Amino acid sequence: MASAQSCATDDVNREYLQKHPEIAKYKAQMEQEFQQALMKVRFSSTAAAKIVSPYTPSKDSDYALVYIPIVVHIVHEYGAEYVKDDDIYNWVDRMNVTYIKKNSDTADVVGEFKPYIGNARIQFVLANKDPFGNPTTGITRRFSYLTRGGDDQAKQDLWAPDRYLNIWLINKIGRGASSGVVAAYSVFPSTAAAVPYTDGVIGGATFISQNSGAPRTYEHEIGHYLNLYHPWNNSNKGAGEDCGDDEVDDTPPTTGHFGSTAPAGALHPNGAGNCNLDNVIYDYDTACIHYKGPGIPDPNFETLADVKDTIVYSPGDTLRYTYSASPYWKNVGTSNHDVVVMDRNLAPGTVRSIFGHINTHGGKAIEVRTDSAAVLNGLVSAAAQNGPFPFKHRPATLTGYWKYNNVGNNHGYIKLLMTKYDSVNHVRNTVTSTTYTLSGSQANWARFVIPVNYTTGDNPDSATIILSAGSDNNTNWASGNFLDVDDIALMDGNDGYFKTFTNGTQQDTADYPDIANTQNIMDYSDCPKMFTLQQVDRMRSTLKSTVGNRLRLITPENMVVTGILDTAAWMPIKRADLKPVPDFSVEKSGNSTERSYFLCASADKPFVFKSQSWRDTITATSWSIANGSTGTNTSISSAVTAPGWVDVTLTVTGNHSGDTTITRKAAVYAADPNNLKDPMNGYYQEFNTDGDVASWPIFNYYNNDFKWELLDNNGFYDKSCIVYRGFDKRVYPATLIGAPAVHEPTSGNLLSKDYDDFFTTGFNLSNMKDGECNLNYMYSGASISADPSILVDTLEVAYSTTCGTSFTTFAYLTKDQIFNKGQYTDPYAPLWLGDWALQSLKIPAAARTAQVYFRFRYKPNSDASRNELGISNNFYIDRINISPFPLGVNTLVGKDKNIALAPNPTNGNAYVVINGEQGQTANIVVTDITGKIVFRTSQVLNDKLSRVEIPANAISVKGMYLVQVAAGNQNYTDKLISY
C-alpha cells in the first residue's frame, strides 16, 4: 500500500460490529479454530518441562493447492474505472503469482525474513458459470453514480458469497476521502457471517495496475477477506499511531508503516528512503519494546523499566537493532516457579529445556542458565549480523550456570566485550574485552560470576557475551561460535500456562527477527512482498471454517457449480470464448460539459457515441442511428435530422465467437428546432396525453427507481402531471445498496448522488426581452424526514440557448420549495388543490432569446444515520408556463380555462387571471362558505390577458371561499383556500 493510500477494513468492520454484536461471537470462533489448528500439542508430557514448542521457520508449506472462484463487478460511469477485460485477467494472474510465492521480488526480502516467507498455495479463478448456471467470464458491469464513493451501497449485483469471492471495482472509495485516499477495504469472515450481503472486497479500479503506487492492494484486501489483520491490529488505531499485534506469532508487533520510509529511529547510512534496501528496514519499532498489548506494562522483569533502545552500526556491517537488560530475573507469582528464558531471536527450532546451545567446530556444545533451572538462550550467527546488547544501568556482575552437552570436555570460555559507539566516525570502539575460563562437567551445572568492570570515564553503552567450548583464541571466536543475548523474555514453566512475555502476547508460538517486517503485504509500506508462514496458516485455517462460508468456497462441489475446475484432474478449466457484450456510452458534443443526451435535430448538432463493448476481442463494429448515420468505427458522430427519440443499434463481432447486437431505444432525444412556443399565445404544459408532452423528454440515466414519470391519476386541474418518484421503498437488506445519495461517514460530506432530468420543448422569448418574464408551475411535495439539516434535495432549473450543447442553471430550489407539505412517512400524493403551491422563477435576460430550452433536474439526498435511506418523498409538478406577470402570479388560464385563480404567496393576496377581449368588463364576487359576500369588484379588461387582485384583508380568515367571475359570455366559479 502506498503512503497516500490506506485501507478502510478496520473502520468498516468496527462499524458493523457496533451494529451487529454477534460478530464478536463469530470472531472468537475463528480465533479458537486457528489456535486449535496451530497448536495441537503445546506442552511436553512431563510437568517439569512444560515449555512451548516454538514454531520454527521451515520449508514451504505442504498445503494442497486450492482454488477460489471470483467475480469482478465493475461499477462505472465509463470513466477510468471502466477497466478492460484483459486488465482484469492480468491482474488476477499477478495475484495468483503472489499467493503461490512465485513473485520474483521475494528475492528482495531482507535476509532475516526470507525463511519466514509463506506459500499460501491459493489460486483465484474467474467464474465460468454465473449463479444461474449461465456461461460467464466472471466479470459484470453496471453504470452507476455510486462508483463515486458509493462504497457498500455500490455493492450491487452480489453473487452468492458462499460460492464466489465478490470483488467490486469503482472509481474511488468514499470513506476517508476528507483525509486522504483510501484504496480499498474488505469484510472479515466474522462480519460476513452476520451481514452476508456486504461480503467481499471493494476498491478503486486504478489500484489493479502494477503502476498504481500500491501494487498489491488487492492481495492485501483478500488477506483481510481470509481473516488476516493489519500487523498493528489490536492497537485499535491507525498505522504509525501505536504498537499492536495481529494474532499471528511470526509477525513482529509493530506500529505499521506508510510509504517508502523506514520505521521511526532507523539509521540511513545511504540516505535512501527505499524500503527495498536492507539498511533501511533493519530496525525495530521502538514503541513495541517489551510489548504486552496496548497500554499494558511488563510486570515480569526487575530491570526493564529503564531499558534503552540502541542502534548499533559499524562500517561494512549490516545495520541491526538489538537491545537487552542485565540478566536478573524474578519469578512470577507468590511462590517460586521454574522460569524459562526464551530468546526471541532464536534461529534454530529446539524443544524442551536445552533451548539454546552453541555448536563448536568439534561438535561440542555449551549451555548457559541464569539459575539451576532456567536456560539462558543464545543465537549462533556471524559477528556482522549481531551487535552487542546495550544496557542503561550496569550490574556489578553477570551470574549464570553452564555445562557441556558432550562427554570429554570439562571447560569452556566466556568473553565479555564492552563497547561504546562513536557517533562522529560511525564506529564502535572497544572499552574492555575480558575472557574467562569456565570449569565444570557434563553432569552438573556450574555457577559462574563475571565482574562487569571498566575504567571510570569510558562509560561503555553496550556489552556482548561470547561463548566457546574449544579454545579462547580469536580464531575460534571468529568461526561463528557467538552468543547474542538479544530480546530475552520470561515464561512461567511450572504451572502449565503461558505468561505474557516480551515482543508478543501470551501463548506466542513462534519466534521472529527483531526487526520490523515492513515488507509484509498486510502493512502499508510501498514494498509489500510477502506473507509469513503463520499468516498462511491463518488463511488456510479460515478456508476450513464455516464462518462466513469460507469453507464452501473451495469444495469440489463448488468447483463444479462455478465451472472453474476439472475436478478429476484438479485443474482450472479454460476460460470460455463467449460472444461479446455490446455496450456504448453517450459522449459530450461540441463544447458540452456533460454527456449530450438532449440536442436539437440539426446537421450541426451531432450526437457522439462510443463503443464500450466487452467480454471478447472486438474485431468489427457496426452502428445504425435512427434518422442519422451508420458507421464502423469504435466511435461515431451522428447528426439527427428528424425530431424525437433516437434509437441506437450497435453490432460487435468477436474474434472467435460471432457477433452480438444491442438496440437501445430512446437513447437520446433530438428536439424540434422549429417547434417553438410563444408564451404570449398562452402555452401551458398539463402533462396529459392530449397535449405535446411527447416533446418533453424524460431521462432516468441510471435506470433506477428514483425518477421522473408521467402520471394520469393526479394533477392540479386535471388528472395528469409529472412526478419525481423520490419515496425510498427499499426494505432491508435492499437498503444496503442503491441509495439515492451517499456521504462520507466521518465528515458527512456528500460523495455522490443520483440525478434525473426532464426537458421542455423550445420557447421563443424574443418578445419578452423587456419587462416581467417568469417560469411558473404548481408543485406539491413532502419528505420522509423531518430533520431540516438533511432536507437538502434540490430541484435545479437550467436553460440552454445553444440547442442543448450547454446549460446554465438559474434556480436552485430546496426545502419548502420542494417539501411544501412537510413530513409524510407513507408515499405522498396531493389530495386536493390546497396541497399545491405556486412557484415563479425569474428568467434571466440571457435566456430571453428566439430559441431556448429548459431543463428540470432533481437531485435527492439521503439520511446517512439511517443507512443512506432516501429522505424525500414524491414531488409533483403541473401546469408549467411562462408569463409576463410579476413573480408569484401564475397565469393558469389557457385552453378551455380562460379564467383562473392564482394565490400570491409574497403578500397574501390572490389574483383572478382572465383571458378575454380588451374592453370587456369583468365582475368578481367572493363569498365565504355561508354565502356572505366578503369582496366585490368590477374592472374593465385592458389587455388580452388581465389580472384582478383580491386583497388579502378580504380573505384574512383562514378557510374556503367561492370566487365567481363573469366576463363577457364567460362565467367561472372556483374555490379559494386561505391558510
Active site (catalytic) residues: 221
CB count within 10 Å of CB 560 equals 13
Strands of the sheet containing 389-390, edge to edge, are 389-390, 462-468, 411-422, 427-439
In terms of Cα–Cα distance, which of 742, 769, 764, 719 is closest to 867? 742
Q: Look at phi and psi of residue 626 and say left if phi exceeds 0, alpha if psi is from -120 to 50, else beta.
A: beta
Q: Determine the residue type at 537.
A: D
Q: For the chain, give me the number of helices (H) and strands (E)?
A: 10, 55
Residue for grid cell 541491526: 320
In terms of Cα–Cα distance, which of 635, 612, 626 is closest to 670? 626
Q: Which residues of 667-682 are buried (b: 16+ CB within 10 A; e: fewer)?
A: bbbbbbbeebbebeeb
Cell of 653: 463481432
Separation between Cα atoms, residue 499 and residue 299, nearest integer Å: 10
In terms of Cα–Cα distance, which of 853, 856, 842 is closest to 805? 853
Positive or negative, the Cα torsion across 262, 265, 269, 271? positive
Q: How is residue 611 annotated by DSSP?
A: E
Q: How is residue 213 annotated by DSSP?
A: S
Residue 784 DSSP SS3: coil
Q: How far is CA 490 from CA 331, 467, 894, in A?
A: 9, 22, 94
The kind and range of the H/E element at 22 are helix 22-38
Separation between Cα atoms, residue 574 and residue 564, nearest integer Å: 8
Separation between Cα atoms, residue 488 and residue 635, nearest integer Å: 69
Positive or negative, the Cα torsion across 467, 468, 472, 474? negative
Cell of 749: 460530506
DSSP H stretches of helix in 682-766: none
Task: Report whether 935 contacts 910 (CB < 8 A).
Answer: no
891 Cβ contact partners less than 8 Å away, ≥ 6 residues apart: 682, 776, 881, 883, 885, 900, 902, 913, 945
Q: How far is CA 284 from CA 213, 321, 426, 527, 794, in A?
A: 25, 6, 20, 17, 54
C-alpha atoms less than 13 angstroms from C-alpha of 650 in its C-beta half-sphere: 23
Residue 862 CA from chain centroid, whole number? 19
Q: Determine the residue type at 490.
A: L
**Phi and psi at residue 48, to the nearest 5°:** -75, -15
Task: Report whether 799 contacts 808 (CB < 8 A).
Answer: yes
Separation between Cα atoms, residue 165 and residue 553, nearest integer Å: 8
Residue 882 DSSP SS3: strand
Residue 143 DSSP SS3: strand
Residue 203 DSSP SS3: strand
Mapping DSSP onto H, E and C, the string for 620-688 reads EEEEEECCCCEECCCEEEECCCCCEEEEEEEEEEECCCCEEEEEEEEEEEEECCCCEECHHHCCCECCC
